[in-house]
């Protein structure tokens, strides 16, 4: 008689759980840092006060709040790397993951670089735990000394010399390509810039688009900076709306992060969307398309912002308020609807898998 055994987790299941572990630890950091930064930026936008130059006690306190928020967002990269690694290999992966995340931040590799670092840490530490055999009296040295020292060194060298420099070269190449496009079709270039901004939310591709836009802005060319800065809003705002109108498909943590993402979007901070991408990487495609749509529309409508501003301030400063708003609304609606469909499918699949596992457990 055949026995029904409990379904074993596949490597894909373990990878998915590791990503969700990284998300669960990262969300409080993003909410704390992002909300403080968003509140400070919103105060500065609405009042017009230069927080750094003002001698007012209130302005100094609000400026401190912005600084504290930046501390929180700075921790985003080491937290992602450390706890994705932790999800794959347990506590011994935390130290190498934290250090790998800091390298990803310092080399401007973005959250994708930090995520890659966390995955490499997790798999390397798992291999070391399984294959390095020590006498019983020295086993405590493996997680306390050998893995933090040797594991960190291996991952850091791989990230810097094998992963890091190609990403930096890609960043430089993208900048040169965009500069070469600047004299061509403005709508096409706007769509490309918007797609790049929406792709990795603060990573090297995003940075290339922003850098080129600001460089052309300094030359008196305002279309690129208008396109890239409207794109910053689209992913976090669209996903945030989805968590409100279709909250049944999101965990409590992601619902809370959705509200924070909305607030961050209003002041031009895109990192609020990152936890959702880790929860479902297919959102990268949706964010890229939605951001490209808004960026192309705002240039097609000739609703230009002659300032390096994003969020509510850009909307206020645009040459055609209504057309700028329509451009935002179109991209946001696309992201919100597609995100809801995608998260609904994921929710239903997880529910089905859970039911199947329960049936297997009952039959065993």
pLDDT at 168 over 90: no
The residues near 80 (Cβ < 8 Å, ≥ 6 apart) are 22, 26, 101, 111, 114, 115, 118, 274, 278
Radius of gyration of the chain (CA): 22
Lowest mean pLDDT among 35-44, 158-167, 194-203, 298-307: 35-44
Report d(CA 28, CA 24) in Å as an integer: 8
| Residue for token pair 């399984």 | 130
The residues near 363 (Cβ < 8 Å, ≥ 6 apart) are 4
Token couple for 143 = 């997680």
pLDDT number for residue 4? 41
Lowest mean pLDDT among 141-155, 178-192, 232-246: 178-192
The answer to whether residues 133 and 105 touch, using CB atoms and an 8 Å cutoff, is no
pLDDT at 84 over 70: yes
The listed range with the strongest mean pLDDT (41-45, 56-60, 84-88, 186-190) is: 84-88
pLDDT number for residue 5? 43
Closest CA to 270 of 280, 255, 282, 260: 260
Report pLDDT digits (tens) over 325-356: 999 999 999 999 999 999 999 888 888 877 77
| Residue for token pair 């798992």 | 126
pLDDT number for residue 98? 95
State the average pLDDT over residues 99-103: 93
pLDDT at 364 over 70: no
Report pLDDT digits (tens) over 148-161: 999 999 999 999 99
pLDDT at 185 over 90: no
- Percentage with pLDDT > 70 across the chain: 92
Q: What is the number of residues in the chain?
A: 364
* pTM reported for the whole predicted model: 0.73
The per-residue DSSP string of 253-275 comes to: HHHHHHHHHHHHHHTT--GGGHH
Report d(CA 80, CA 314) in Å as an integer: 31
Q: Is the dihedral of CA 19, 22, 23, 24 positive or negative?
A: positive
CA-angle at 126, arms to 72 and 4, nearest 5°: 110
The answer to whether residues 199 and 288 touch, using CB atoms and an 8 Å cutoff, is yes
Report d(CA 186, CA 242) in Å as an integer: 31
The residues near 112 (Cβ < 8 Å, ≥ 6 apart) are 200, 203
pLDDT number for residue 3? 40
**What's the chain's average pLDDT?**
85
């Amino acid at each position: 008689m055949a026995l029904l055994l409990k379904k074993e987790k596949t490597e894909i299941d373990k990878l998915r759980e590791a990503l969700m572990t990284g998300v669960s630890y990262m969300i409080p950091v993003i909410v704390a840092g992002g909300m403080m930064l968003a509140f400070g930026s919103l105060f500065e936008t609405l009042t017009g006060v230069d927080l750094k130059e003002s001698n007012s006690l209130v302005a100094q306190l609000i400026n401190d709040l912005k600084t504290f928020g930046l501390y929180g967002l700075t921790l985003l990269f080491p937290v992602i790397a450390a706890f994705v690694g932790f999800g794959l290999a347990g506590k011994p992966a935390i130290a190498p993951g934290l250090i790998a995340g800091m390298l990803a931040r310092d080399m401007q590799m973005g959250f994708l670089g930090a995520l890659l670092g966390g995955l490499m840490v997790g798999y390397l530490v798992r291999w070391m735990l399984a294959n390095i055999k020590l006498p019983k009296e020295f086993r405590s040295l493996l997680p306390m000394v050998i893995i933090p020292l040797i594991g960190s060194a291996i991952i850091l060298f791989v990230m810097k010399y094998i992963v890091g420099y190609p990403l930096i070269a890609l960043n430089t190449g993208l900048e040169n390509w965009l500069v070469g496009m600047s004299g061509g079709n403005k709508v096409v270039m706007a769509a490309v810039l918007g797609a790049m901004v929406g792709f990795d939310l603060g990573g090297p591709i995003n940075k290339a688009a922003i850098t080129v836009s600001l460089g052309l802005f300094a030359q008196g060319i305002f279309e690129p900076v208008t396109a890239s800065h409207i794109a910053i809003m689209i992913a976090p705002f669209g996903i945030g709306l989805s968590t409100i109108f279709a909250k049944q498909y999101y965990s409590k943590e992601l619902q809370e992060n959705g509200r924070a993402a909305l607030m961050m979007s209003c002041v031009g901070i895109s990192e609020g969307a990152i936890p959702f991408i880790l929860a479902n990487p297919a959102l990268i495609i949706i964010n890229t398309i939605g951001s490209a749509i808004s960026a192309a529309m705002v240039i097609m409508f000739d609703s230009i912002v002659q300032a390096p501003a994003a969020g509510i301030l850009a909307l206020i400063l645009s040459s055609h308020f209504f057309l700028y708003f329509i451009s935002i609304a179109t991209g946001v609606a696309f992201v919100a609807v597609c995100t809801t469909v995608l998260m609904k499918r994921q929710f239903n699949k997880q529910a089905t898998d859970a039911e199947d596992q329960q049936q297997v457990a009952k039959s065993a």
